[in-house]
Amino acid sequence: MPDSGVEAQGLEITTIEGLMDGEELGPVQQAFLEKDAFQCGYCTPGQIMAAEGLLRSNPKPTLPEIQKGMSGNLCRCGAYVHIFQAVDNSRSVPLKQVR
């Protein structure tokens, strides 16, 4: 994974909007909505992208693996229990294929 914009030159980068299918939320986005995994919304894009990355590298993470995989994102509202539940819920649904 590139560390800077210069290293990412020529690579495709997926943003949170790229996880959607038109107006339809992606599976992780939907799980965050269903599990009320956000409060103010400030950290939500980063949390969802981290969850996507975790699930792409480990499709069936355990709770400790989810906690570790999500540890790089801070939620100032403290919605961690709901965030972990949303990631856990997303384990059983196929993720959108991105290039």
Q: Say if residue 44's pLDDT is above 90.
A: yes
Q: What does the pLDDT read at residue 1?
A: 60
- Residue 79, CA distances (Å) to 5, 35, 37, 58 in order: 31, 10, 6, 22
For 74-90, the pLDDT digits (tens) are: 999 999 999 999 999 99
pLDDT of res. 58: 94
Share of the chain above pLDDT 90, in %: 73
* Residue 3 in this model has a pLDDT that exceeds 90: no
Helices marked H in 6-79: 27-34, 44-57, 63-69
The whole-angstrom separation of Cα 24 and Cα 81 is: 25
- Per-residue pLDDT for 95 more than 90? no
Is 16 within 8 Å of 51 (Cβ atoms)?
A: no
